[in-house]
Amino acid sequence: MIRTIVITGATGALGSLTAKTFAARGHSLALLARDSNQLDSLARELNLPGERLFTAAVDLRDGAAVHSAGEAVLARFGGVYGLIHLVGGWTGGKTIPETSVDDFTSMLDQHVWTTFHLFQSFMPLLAKSGGGRVITVSPSTVSNPIPKRGAYTAAKAAQETLMLTLAAELKDSNVTANIIQVKAIDVENKGAGATPEEIVAAMLYLFSEEASKITGARIPLY
């Protein structure tokens, strides 16, 4: 079955692999990222027919821009089955007293406000599809905090709370919401965390029928 999957942070290492993997399985894609040139480059790599691909350069911290993107996706595809939120960004290396208000606010903007805006604009689209999957990726430090990552960890903890609340609100629907937890995203395959391939494999499982009853879970890949 061809389904529409929204991927944010689509031009990053994990986002682009996610896009290529789901495209290879026949799904339609709505790819959101901030850099239009990188989006164009990814679109050329995917080489999908126009009816299966939508791209938008959008700042997810801007609620109005996210709403406009949601309306455009609805107009193109009529609904959405999957929402994979992969917007990254890390500010750390400082103790809490050393962390500036600007650094703390930046982390909240990137991880909390982007998630909130996406849920407000895109969850009604999943409802139109009669079911779906929502996935985020989060660090293991949310469960086991370590020094000098207070701003990032606090923001990701808030994002996890939004995800778990969403799962609770949707428990009687056919939409699941789950968190993949990693120590790090090991892009260079140095054994420092979960590789993008391992994370995407977990996503594919969560999209499967076998995982249709799993929701509100933290899936540890470490």
* pLDDT tens per residue across span 15-46: 999 999 999 999 999 999 999 999 999 999 99
Q: Is the pLDDT of residue 103 over 90?
A: yes
CA 190 from chain centre, in angstroms, equals 24
Tens of pLDDT, residues 111-151? 999 999 999 999 999 988 889 999 999 999 999 999 999 99
Q: Is the pLDDT of residue 1 over 80?
A: no
Structural domain including 135 reads 4-221
Give the confidence band of 191 by pLDDT, cuts at 50, 70, 90. confident
pLDDT at position 127: 85
At residue 115, the 3 state secondary structure works out as helix
Give the confidence band of 220 by pLDDT, cuts at 50, 70, 90. very high
What is the arithmetic mean of pLDDT over 155-174? 96
At residue 53, the 3 state secondary structure works out as strand
Beta bridge partners of 6: 30, 83
Packed helices 114-129 and 150-169: angle between N→C axes, nearest 10 degrees: 20
Residue indicated by tokens 């993997």: 21
Radius of gyration of the chain (CA): 17
What is the arithmetic mean of pLDDT over 213-221? 97
pLDDT at position 88: 85
Those residues with Cβ within 8 angstroms of residue 78's Cβ, 6 or more apart along the chain or in another chain: 128
Task: List the structure tokens of 69.
Answer: 């993107």
**Distance from C-alpha of 4 to C-alpha of 80, rounded to nearest angstrom:** 5
Task: List the structure tokens of 180.
Answer: 């993949």
What is the arithmetic mean of pLDDT over 86-108? 93
Q: Is the pLDDT of residue 179 over 90?
A: yes
pLDDT at position 132: 97
**Distance from C-alpha of 145 to C-alpha of 112, rounded to nearest angstrom:** 18
pLDDT at position 94: 94
The count of domains in the chain is 1
Q: Is the pLDDT of residue 155 over 90?
A: yes
Tens of pLDDT, residues 38-95? 999 999 999 999 999 999 999 999 999 999 999 999 999 999 999 999 998 888 889 9
Sign of CA dihedral 101, 102, 106, 112: positive
pLDDT at position 118: 98
What is the arithmetic mean of pLDDT over 179-189? 93
Helices (DSSP H) in 62-113: which residue ranges? 63-77, 101-108
Q: Looking at residue 94, what DSSP letter applies?
A: B
Query: Which CATH number do you get for residue 33?
Result: 3.40.50.720
